Structure 1
């Protein structure tokens, strides 16, 4: 038995839940003070005690009142997982779990795979960027993509109680780097792609890749790694991976191969043998990759081809991912694309499909990788007929300063519309565009809040469109 658990049992004190956020501590909770990159949980021990913490567990000594026990851990992250497994009755041990990592595509794959699983009569649970849910019940919206251990074990407990057959977890690079999935048994891990993102956190692409690699390092020999056949990171990702490997892609070298018949129809092969054909509604080659990753996983899970085809016939809707809304005979698309790679693929796909003129409304997030802003400006100029620059999530930066950074990548600055207020920018695009034009509103997708100077305000691109 873990030493911290032994010490905890000796205390003979009643406790309820484990919490690592002092603001969320309730009476009777155990507060675990974790060290962080920007701050240290030890600094918030007093607040946790004021909110009712009954026990403090920390990575170093810190003074506490005589009636509040302090347990010092030599390996706080490992001990936190051990505590969660013990207190929440190890819920993940008996749940079949798929984890998806990569810069782009995680949410799309989670929705596609969930739809296929439901068509095969599986009870599903999903933890991801849009929300946490089981079956058709939403537990929480717009939280961490990959929640910290106390939350993920509590979600596992809900999934276990609700008899979930398959859980799907979006594994973010920050979550992996911080060890949030370190002791969660993963049966299938999917890698999508790796492009520039989160360099404000990881500092380099090498460290970013290393964080993604952690997911595959922890797989058991009975698990599967599902990886695109032609990814340049293939060897590095699998260097310390003991799992079985199933590849997907468009070449005959891939285990699961897709052969497009037209834009929205694809034949599927396994080991060069025909399996079935799917008709789908998705636009763009990048979405074909998302489909193939989902189909490779479905192959491992043994899902019936007829049920897979049924899932696609019923049209899979992914919130804020090329979400199509017709407004005043304009084809408007809401998309979460906020990285250069995702932005370029989304915009290029729409521009090529657009029968008339392409309008692009976007901004960039504040206090994040500054280097990508000018890149996204150049991408917008290359694939748009008209550009409106606006505010995204400025956080603690001034929106107009962010827009100036975007403009550095644009040559013909005189033709750019700059409208800081996002609602006005969107309404202007609808007023200036013509029937049959395409309007892309990029960067926020499903999000319903905008952060300005540390305060979150309600803001939804979908809500704006519905009220025009």
Structure 2
């Protein structure tokens, strides 16, 4: 692609006939002919790496400041915003050929995205999905994503791929960090979904405070042509205030004032799943999802609301919800020992409370919870999780989660201090051994909840992602102990 049309999206003109072969914001990945965008980062300033980028063959540079440079250099006010617009142009503006549905909230984004994706598939559309678990075309994995919402270079490449593969719709999780760092700048979403907001992702490397966190969530809705929101969440008015005046708006929840109003919720179960059957005020026939608890029903109400707003048929909504199992979200591991083993991604106090509360709705003996906490994250998160575990579980095995650069011993010590003497607990740093211990303790009728890892296939420590699958550990245990 020529440099001139790329720069035109930034309001710059260029009379040089320069071919641009790629875009990069990391000097280590620059190849000859690249356009290098120098982005000020949390730990390093990209302008410091302009010489390296040019040495590696960068044909031009975009920078927030004017600097001596042997390659053509163009100054922009916000290089993150510029990168998003450049990536869109470089890949041919693929989003213009897609119906984008964006989902945001503190918890429930991945589950709701799966539900909406499965409803679209049931309606006969070819749908893509981008989020915490990676990028999918239909139900097939297409690419891994290092972030819930990828950086613009990966995001627009994925959207381009999805157009090439015949997708008409893309469901995307949009995180607060994505908004803060302008990853989706320039995109217009046909519909935005607001699930909930609670204090999280606040601290070094994330958000300065709750006000910034909420403002980043709200900013997303300025890019939405329509929206549905949780009518019971106090933050919804702040979100809705950002919508364009003409945008259609609907609400969901269990309150009488909600447009899509949930009614009764009944637990259902099978050997391979814990599920829910729930009613909606304007429908005679209940809906069914293969996920337990009121919090998952709330996600389903969001999916119903947004899919109705998009004009999808009722039969597709019902079919999609019935098929919407989500890996690592209240996922039951079948076994012949009479132990109900549940794998869930819960990694904060709100999600701990949601999953453990719903387990109480099913017949059970003791509830044994296996969990740790992510390192280099706000310490209050692990203390709050411990308090919820002490309230809703009968026994805890405290272990490794993703310690990152923090000693796992320090993390576990914080958790056990918060647990105190409220319930019996043990510390086993090796997560495999911790799971084995919990299963050894469990008797028929007991529940074992493995919380924190969910779908993840690794443990992140000291800059490495070491392969680890809870599902594989469970298969190993029950093979040895049928």
- For normalisation by structure 1, the TM-score amounts to 0.93
Preserved CA contact (<8 Å) 2:9 2:89: no
Preserved CA contact (<8 Å) 1:196 1:340: no
SS in 1 for 2:141: strand
Determine the C-alpha separation between the residues in 2 that align with 1:24 and 1:467: 40
The aligned residue for residue 390 of structure 2 is 381
SS in 1 for 2:19: coil
1:349 and 2:362 correspond: no
Cα RMSD over matched residues?
A: 2.1
* Alpha-carbon spacing, 1:27–1:439, altered in 2? closer, same or farther (3 Å): farther
The aligned residue for residue 10 of structure 1 is 15
SS in 2 for 1:393: coil
Preserved CA contact (<8 Å) 2:222 2:243: yes
Residue 7 of structure 1: how far off its partner (Å):
5.5
* Alpha-carbon spacing, 1:435–1:8, altered in 2? closer, same or farther (3 Å): farther
1:22 and 2:22 correspond: no
Determine the C-alpha separation between the residues in 1 that align with 2:82 and 2:383: 43
The aligned residue for residue 138 of structure 1 is 141
SS in 1 for 2:418: coil
Give deviations 1:85-131, integer Å, cap 9, x for gaps: 32211111121110000010000001011111101001001110001
The aligned residue for residue 408 of structure 1 is 417
* Alpha-carbon spacing, 1:187–1:399, altered in 2? closer, same or farther (3 Å): same
Preserved CA contact (<8 Å) 2:403 2:460: yes
Superposed, which structure 2 residues align to 1:23-422 within 5 Å? Answer: 23-49=28-54, 51-64=56-69, 66=70, 68-200=71-203, 201-219=206-224, 223-242=225-244, 243-260=247-264, 262-263=266-267, 264-269=276-281, 273-274=282-283, 276-313=285-322, 315-327=323-335, 329=337, 330-412=339-421, 415-422=424-431
Determine the C-alpha separation between the residues in 1 that align with 2:447 and 2:222: 43
Determine the C-alpha separation between the residues in 2 that align with 1:454 and 1:27: 29
* Alpha-carbon spacing, 1:188–1:367, altered in 2? closer, same or farther (3 Å): same
Residue 255 of structure 1: how far off its partner (Å):
1.0
Residue 62 of structure 1: how far off its partner (Å):
4.1
Preserved CA contact (<8 Å) 1:101 1:191: yes
Residue 276 of structure 1: how far off its partner (Å):
4.5
* Alpha-carbon spacing, 1:274–1:353, altered in 2? closer, same or farther (3 Å): closer
Residue 135 of structure 1: how far off its partner (Å):
1.9
Determine the C-alpha separation between the residues in 2 that align with 1:281 and 1:233: 29
**How many residues matched?**
459
Unaligned runs of 5+ in 1: none
Preserved CA contact (<8 Å) 2:85 2:185: no
Judge which range, 172-181 or 253-262, deviates more.
253-262
Preserved CA contact (<8 Å) 2:194 2:236: no
SS in 1 for 2:334: strand
SS in 2 for 1:56: strand
Unaligned runs of 5+ in 2: 268-275, 478-482
- For normalisation by structure 2, the TM-score amounts to 0.90
Give deviations 1:58-83, integer Å, cap 9, x for gaps: 1123444x3x3332223323332332
